[in-house]
Amino acid sequence: MGEARPTSGGDPSDAAPESGAQPKAEPKKAGNLAMRLLTAAVAVPIILLLLYKGPDWSLFLVVLAATAVGAFELFGMTHPNDTASRAFGISLTLGASAVAYLGGNNPKVLVTALIAAPLLGPLWTLVRLGDMKTAALRALAMSAGPLFVGVPITLLAVLRRDQGEDGAGYVVFCLMVAWFGDTGGYFAGRFLGKHKLYEAVSPKKTVEGAIGGLAGSALAAVLAHFVFLRSLPLGPGLLLALVAGALGQAGDLGESLLKRSTGVKDSGQIVPGHGGILDRVDALMLVAACVYGYTIWK
């Protein structure tokens, strides 16, 4: 995620200074990692309580809040000096999230949303023209951004609602594929990382870290099959975890590309030890979409 911070997940070599001067960075690493663990210790029990004890709509409310913050961060990068456009983008994102959750079973509603959202971006940019050099970026961001941020994370709430007794298990599986992949990549990259993965986008991610991330995602499938999601066959579960984990890593790189191209280090600072919402869910968005696709096509 963030190229210069150890808490961004994935590959810890992302966190090392390019000069290789490790000793001065270690205290900050340790402090960020401790804050990250503390945040997880608080957040994970709350998430599990909502999943297994709360009503279906309670998770959707959490997701809705997360999409609002994610949209605020996204349009803060693409429309940094345009408050009206940021507000419009957030509104579209919340609308896309609501459509995905409330109208997901109605093809007419989905098709209407898929037609309207991409068209509104260029139309809005005509109203808020600004700098012509960035107009195309802003138009496309307003077209795709609401769907990109608003829909994938909302699919977690859809999984929780539509998969019956397995709904909570599928959500936990998504979280574990993303988070175990993030952690596996962090430690594999830290101790084994030598070969650059995609230097132009994220200079300190490594091939070894990516492989470690896939191993972590595969471990999530094994635990899911034997512990809390026994309806997920082990073989298909492993394949699903590997595909979803790889897509999650691509999502991580995609957000790094967006941040690098707009000159931003972290998407935000709302999550202690983790940065912004987008820094935390960039991989999860792709994982959730992949797992949701599996559940409707399996």
How confident is the model over 21-47, as a mean pLDDT?
Answer: 64
State the greatest distance between any 2 C-alpha atoms of the chain, in Å, as a whole number.
58
Domain parsing of the chain, residue ranges: 6-297
The pLDDT assigned to 64 comes to 96
**pLDDT of 27 above 80:** no
How confident is the model over 234-261, as a mean pLDDT?
Answer: 95
For residues 223 and 265, the answer to whether their CB atoms sit within 8 Å is no
Indicate the pLDDT class of residue 32, thresholds 50, 70 and 90: low
Q: What is the pTM of this model?
A: 0.85
Percent of the chain residues past pLDDT 70, beyond the cut: 86
For residues 268 and 277, the answer to whether their CB atoms sit within 8 Å is yes
Of 5-9, 31-35, 217-221, 287-291, which range is least confident? 5-9
Percent of the chain residues past pLDDT 90, beyond the cut: 67
Distance of CA 273 to the CA centre of its chain: 16
Burial of 239 (0-12, 13-18, 19+ CB in 10 A): middle
The pLDDT assigned to 264 comes to 83
For residues 99 and 116, the answer to whether their CB atoms sit within 8 Å is no
How far apart, in whole angstroms, are the C-alpha atoms of residue 25 and residue 2? Answer: 16
Query: For residue 289, what are its two tokens?
Result: 């979409």
How far apart, in whole angstroms, are the C-alpha atoms of residue 172 and residue 156? Answer: 9
Q: Which residues pair with 206 in a beta bridge?
A: 196
How far apart, in whole angstroms, are the C-alpha atoms of residue 90 and residue 149? Answer: 10
pLDDT in tens, 147-191: 999 999 999 999 999 999 999 999 999 999 999 999 999 999 989
For residues 289 and 152, the answer to whether their CB atoms sit within 8 Å is yes
Q: Identify each DSSP E strand in the chain by its residue range.
A: 196-198, 202-206
The pLDDT assigned to 13 comes to 42
The pLDDT assigned to 272 comes to 60
How far apart, in whole angstroms, are the C-alpha atoms of residue 237 and residue 286? Answer: 16
How confident is the model over 269-275, as a mean pLDDT?
Answer: 65
Q: How far is CA 290 from CA 202, 239, 294, in A?
A: 23, 11, 6
For residues 262 and 254, the answer to whether their CB atoms sit within 8 Å is no
The pLDDT assigned to 252 comes to 93
